[in-house]
Structure 1
Amino acid sequence: MPEEATILVIDDELEIGNYLKTLITQFGYRSEIATSGKDGLQTIQRIRPELVILDVVMPDMDGLEVLKQIQEEKMDTSVIMLSGHRQTSTVVGAMKLGAADFLNKPFDPEELQFTISKVLERRNLISEVQRLKKQVSEQNGNQILFGNSEKMGAIKEIIEQVADTDITILIRGESGTGKGLIARFIYMNSSRRDRHFVNVNCAALPAELLESELFGYERGAFTGAHKKKPGKFEFANHGTIFLDEIGEIPPALQAKLLQVLQDGEFAPLGSEQDVRVDARVIAASNRDLEAEVARGKFREDLYFRLNVVNITVPPLRERMEEIPILTEHFLQKYNRKYNKDYKKISKETMGLFMQYNWPGNVRELENMIKRVVVLESEKPIATEFLLKEEDKVRSERKNGSSGSGGNMTASGEFSFIDPLLEGKDHNFTLREISKEASKRAEKELIEKILRQTNWNRKKTAEILQVSYKALLYKIKENK
């Protein structure tokens, strides 16, 4: 709502700044003053105002320079330019740089109030249109999110039952399975969807910063706390807060989080007064929290408070039937984003997808499709799968499983030499051994790529970067 907006006045003349602040407060908005362009840019970063009233003529950095930097750094704020000079070129320049409106000094208070109201209403209308577009896009994407597997269908049924309640939800699953998307889907289907959805990655911040980020702080609470700052829970008031990687929260902070879940209250850092909030909590973790409780790393009472409804997202390897529909979805998504027209993933590449274990889950699949669209080629994927296969073989050898390509020595080292020497006497040269090793490696590689491409020789030749005729010769030679 416009009445809740914060407005920053940037004017080097303090008297005018104070006058504007008084008027803005009378109009029902919050207001702050900065007396230089540099100070103004720093204040925008700190308080994130909805609107800036910016004087054109200032000594250190004029208003047009400030406006240009606001646009270049993509600061989410609207700007009204203010000037005592009626210069058409200045007005045109400001509008080209993205100013929302322009006022000349001296101005009438009613004119100022009307201009502020008009700019904020326009801003709110644009925000609402963007929100609705995003909501439609997310609702369309939800069909993709849940795919066509029985396991994801069961999760969707649970969500439909609990989304429109205030019940706390714990989402479990490996990294990359889509826990964050499910949290947002719950929010979009709840009665709080018109309020804030606040996403906090608990693993992204050190323990000493996480408390101030979640619960905010008072001025002087610690060195550098020059001004009061609300925390994420306050931003999420009447909305939803998503605590991703909840298992990373240190024990000392778990007690404070428990208090919020129990009582809906907490004290910001440096404050003796509790703040009351009404926020729906959704948490997620890729850890085994029961094991963490058993080890004393995670509070049992907090775990039970979070685990009212448990949603466990299966890894992609347990819902392989979703790979084709997810692949098509990501193709469309990144074709739109990068203005490309990559039609379809080949049968050979899809065959590789269906044989792969997907340790990175849906996120790994999405990144692969993004790469295909951007590079307009599937060759890098085939190469990547080959490298992954080689890594797997190396890992097996390291763990003592040699496969068919070599033997373990008495000292536990892997040897390619022993199989090459089987059936030979000691009359051999280094050149002969090198030739034999090269031949065996070549044969093994060709067979591996043929299997991965479902014995498509043309595709195999492309991946190995040899002519089709040369590949046929090698296949015949290695029989």
Structure 2
Amino acid sequence: MTKKVIRRTINILIVDDDIDVCNFLKRILVKRNYSVEILTDPQNAIEIVKKQDFQIIILDIVMPKKDGIEVLKEIRKFDNKVCIIMLSAFPTVERAFESIREKVFEFITKPFDTKQFFEVISRAEKEFGLVTNLYQLVTNQIASRLKTLRNERKISLRQLANMAGISQSLIYQIEHAETAPSLATLTKLTSALQTDLSYFFEDL
């Protein structure tokens, strides 16, 4: 059975002095349920990036007032992890190397087609962990909440195993997200811990 893949809302900032490019990219991204902000003045980019949480920044290189590489370097001073994709109609080897040094995810040359663009976005989602296997997401949350609840109530693995009537090794595997519990096992654990089954699935 194929495991469902889910994607949390991805916030994208587009910085390009060409409003037509900004509007085009925003339109095609919004159609695919991305949250998009556009910015035509690169001088305001740093302030906005500091205030808002963006997972992907699409940054043009050649812009008036402030070069895209300069904006890139300023962002990297306080955020070394955000995914940055560079755009340019006039690529040079020097700028490409600058982009690599500043950990740019991809360098896209204008003009580009929609298919190429979304291939880059899709790879960025996967490499930066913006898409999640639903099975693993549930397994991780159950693991975290089980361990937290057990520690809060100062119950050892052995004690919980005796209370729930299941093995210590299975509880260990569940708490370390090595396996997902069956509904029967999870029901035994919730009963032993005197909590509700929904506790393990809230906010998913």
Quickly name the TM-score band, shorter chain normalised.
0.5 to 0.7
Determine which of 20, 24, 35 is the counterpart of 1:30. 35
The structure 1 segments of at least 4 consecutive aligned residues displaced by more than 3 Å after TM superposition are 125-128, 157-164
- Within a 5 Å distance, the mapping from 1:274-313 to structure 2 comes to none
Distance 1:166 1:46 in 2: 37
Match of 1:156 in 2: 155
Distance 2:100 2:56 in 1: 15
Distance 2:46 2:65 in 1: 13
Partners of 1:27 and 1:113 within 8 A in 2: no
Report the residue type matching 2:112 in the other structure: F
Report the residue type matching 1:54 in the other structure: L
Report the residue type matching 1:112 in the other structure: F
Distance 1:191 1:164 in 2: 9
Match of 1:81 in 2: 86
**Residues 125 and 29 of structure 1: is their aligned pair in 2 closer, same or farther, counting only changes over 3 Å?**
closer
Structure 1 residue 25 displacement after superposition: 1.5
Determine which of 160, 182, 200 is the counterpart of 1:191. 200
**Residues 115 and 3 of structure 1: is their aligned pair in 2 closer, same or farther, counting only changes over 3 Å?**
farther
Report the residue type matching 1:58 in the other structure: M
Partners of 1:52 and 1:79 within 8 A in 2: yes
Determine which of 66, 71, 87 is the counterpart of 1:66. 71
Matched, 1:6 2:11: yes
Query: How large is the Cα RMSD of the aligned pairs?
Result: 3.5
Question: What TM-score comes out, normalization by structure 2 length?
Answer: 0.63
Matched, 1:112 2:117: yes
Q: Deviations over 1:371-419 (max 9, x none)?
A: xxxxxxxxxxxxxxxxxxxxxxxxxxxxxxxxxxxxxxxxxxxxxxxxx
**Residues 126 and 22 of structure 1: is their aligned pair in 2 closer, same or farther, counting only changes over 3 Å?**
closer
Partners of 2:13 and 2:56 within 8 A in 1: yes
Matched, 1:238 2:203: yes
Report the residue type matching 1:238 in the other structure: D
Q: Deviations over 1:174-219 (max 9, x none)?
A: xxxxxxxxxxxxxxxx624xxxxxxxxxxxxxxxxxxxxxxxxxxx
Partners of 1:100 and 1:119 within 8 A in 2: yes
Distance 1:8 1:97 in 2: 18
**Residues 98 and 106 of structure 1: is their aligned pair in 2 closer, same or farther, counting only changes over 3 Å?**
same
Partners of 1:164 and 1:191 within 8 A in 2: no
Distance 2:93 2:115 in 1: 23
Question: What TM-score comes out, normalization by structure 1 length?
Answer: 0.29
Partners of 2:13 and 2:36 within 8 A in 1: yes
Structure 1 residue 67 displacement after superposition: 1.4
Partners of 2:11 and 2:36 within 8 A in 1: yes
Distance 1:6 1:112 in 2: 16
Partners of 2:10 and 2:35 within 8 A in 1: yes
**Residues 126 and 65 of structure 1: is their aligned pair in 2 closer, same or farther, counting only changes over 3 Å?**
farther
Determine which of 39, 56, 68 is the counterpart of 2:44. 39
Structure 1 residue 118 displacement after superposition: 1.0
Structure 1 residue 15 displacement after superposition: 1.8
Structure with greater contact order relative to length (CA < 8 Å, sep ≥ 6): 2
Match of 1:165 in 2: 196
The number of equivalent residue pairs is 157
Distance 1:100 1:8 in 2: 15
Report the residue type matching 2:77 in the other structure: E
Partners of 2:7 and 2:130 within 8 A in 1: no
**Residues 61 and 127 of structure 1: is their aligned pair in 2 closer, same or farther, counting only changes over 3 Å?**
farther
Distance 2:119 2:80 in 1: 24
Structure 1 residue 116 displacement after superposition: 0.8
Matched, 1:103 2:108: yes
Q: Deviations over 1:90-130 (max 9, x none)?
A: 112101101111101111111111111111111117999xx
- Within a 5 Å distance, the mapping from 1:419-430 to structure 2 comes to none
Identity over the aligned pairs, expressed in percent?
24
User: What are the ranges of 5 or more consecutive residues in structure 2 without an aligned counterpart?
Assistant: 1-5, 161-188
Structure 1 residue 45 displacement after superposition: 2.5
